[in-house]
């Protein structure tokens, strides 16, 4: 094995990376089996297969039924789940520290010995299609998929994680096996734990239970080519108007993302933010109004989301544009900047009270940067953001010709951009 000089990171000769964080004062653990694979690695013809596989890994192995997978964890007072993003798939378990090995063994069994029974594939496709319909019926979720489909048009990042109904109905056992063989490779495999765990024990469990000979590497590059901004209207039989305005910006690999995060706090995160105060508190025209920053390794989407009624949407957009102009032409005060920084730092620190959040944070750090970036390092960077940084970034981001707007409503509303 090859040990990193960084504490609690071990890379085995086969390429698996093992990462742990020991927290002595808790009695539990969160253990994640991560693959650096998501919908970004798909093509239109198999879009949705990463997420579908996430479901299918729970549907039975050579020695366990779906029910037994659940029972073997829940009988120990533990919890098992998974999620798929555009860049990752994570299978994770939580439990008391003395139950780390049986939890590890169940996850290892799922990832190496799932059978993908054609009958289960047929049943689960109906379940995932129902999930897709739920998204279609939830405009506050659907609009974000539509927004990224426009912003990342022509790129795999623009495809929805859940895929398409056509694809979900067409997946066969061979499709799943071929996708796993091609993409679930040792160099994309990360075993990450946070809690009352021993790193050397975690390494020994990996060597004991990971016996499948995964393909060694997947060298496919994730490419990105951005198109000029354009608007999208989606007609839905809904009462409210749902609206997003935003654009691509800096991803995790760029330190300027920290400035975007602070700007997002000032503009639209929290009840003291400018947009919440202006639209909801002063004008009473939007129940939901907030900014968002959805980040990937090389790019993020940053924007403003609101829902309101048809009569108020034009005024709401006008008020949004006015707030953007203010940020472009006048520096924020030191007091407002400090408040945004403290809000952001407070959220980061409070999230660390969960071992699952900590596990996810260090996994993402190691996958993206090859090291565990300390919380102190992140906080230090937040504190260095200046009023001039906010002013310069506002002028860079808020050029109306580079902003994409997506509107979901029951009728096409022509929203004029500000002059």
Q: Which residues are catalytic?
A: 54
Alpha-helix residue ranges (DSSP H) falling in 222-333: 257-268, 274-275, 313-329
Sheet order of strands, 404-409 included = 232-235, 404-409, 241-249, 300-308, 288-295
Taking the CA atoms of residue 269, residue 272, residue 278 and residue 282 in that order, the dihedral angle to the nearest 10 degrees is 140
Q: Is 367 left (phi over 0), alpha (psi -120 to 50) or beta?
A: alpha
Stretch (H or E) spanning 105: helix 100-113
Return the axis-axis angle of helices 100-113 and 66-74, rounded to nearest 10°.
170
Mapped onto helix, strand or coil, the DSSP state of residue 17 is strand
Cβ count near 381 (within 10 Å) = 16
d(CA 276, CA 268): 6
Cβ-count burial of 330 within 10 angstroms (0-12 exposed, 13-18 middle, 19+ buried)? exposed
Taking the CA atoms of residue 24, residue 29, residue 33 and residue 38 in that order, the dihedral angle to the nearest 10 degrees is -100
d(CA 189, CA 16): 5
Taking the CA atoms of residue 333, residue 308, residue 293 and residue 248 in that order, the dihedral angle to the nearest 10 degrees is -100
């Amino acid at each position: 094995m090859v040990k990193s000089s960084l504490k609690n990171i071990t890379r085995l000769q086969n390429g698996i990376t093992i990462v742990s964080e020991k927290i002595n004062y808790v009695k539990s653990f969160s253990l994640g089996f991560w693959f650096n694979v998501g919908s970004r690695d798909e093509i239109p013809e198999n879009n949705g297969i990463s997420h579908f596989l996430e479901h299918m890994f729970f549907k039975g192995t050579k020695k366990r039924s779906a029910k037994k997978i659940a029972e073997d964890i829940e009988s120990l007072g533990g919890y098992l789940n998974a999620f798929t993003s555009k860049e990752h798939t994570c299978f994770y378990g939580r439990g008391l520290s003395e139950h780390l090995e049986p939890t590890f063994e169940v996850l290892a069994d799922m990832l190496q010995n799932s059978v993908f029974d054609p009958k289960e594939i047929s049943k689960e496709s109906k379940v995932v299609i129902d999930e897709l319909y739920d998204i279609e019926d939830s405009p506050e979720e659907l609009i974000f998929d539509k927004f990224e489909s426009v912003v990342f048009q022509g790129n795999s990042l623009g495809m929805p994680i859940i895929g398409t109904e056509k694809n979900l109905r067409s997946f066969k056992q061979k499709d799943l096996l071929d996708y796993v063989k091609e993409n679930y490779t040792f160099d994309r495999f990360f075993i990450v734990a946070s809690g009352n765990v021993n790193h050397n024990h975690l390494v020994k469990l990996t060597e004991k239970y990971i016996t499948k000979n995964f393909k060694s590497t997947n060298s496919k590059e994730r490419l990105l080519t951005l198109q000029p901004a354009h608007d999208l209207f989606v007609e839905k039989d809904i009462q409210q108007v749902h609206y997003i305005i935003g654009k691509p910006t800096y991803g995790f690999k760029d330190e300027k993302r920290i400035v975007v995060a602070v700007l997002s706090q000032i503009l639209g995160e929290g009840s003291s933010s400018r947009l919440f105060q202006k639209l909801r508190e002063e004008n009473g025209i939007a129940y939901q109004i907030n900014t968002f920053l959805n980040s990937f390794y090389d790019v993020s989407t940053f924007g403003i989301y609101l829902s309101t009624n048809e009569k108020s949407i034009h005024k709401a957009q006008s008020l949004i544009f006015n707030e953007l102009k203010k940020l472009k032409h006048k520096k924020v005060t030191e007091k407002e900047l400090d408040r945004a920084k403290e809000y952001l730092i407070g959220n980061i620190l409070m999230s660390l009270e969960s071992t699952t959040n900590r596990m996810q944070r260090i996994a993402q750090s190691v996958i993206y940067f090859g090291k565990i970036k300390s919380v102190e390092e992140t906080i230090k960077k937040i504190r260095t953001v200046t009023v001039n940084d906010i002013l310069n970034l506002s002028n860079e981001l808020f050029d109306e010709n580079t902003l994409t707007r997506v509107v979901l409503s029951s009728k096409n509303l022509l929203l004029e951009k500000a002059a």
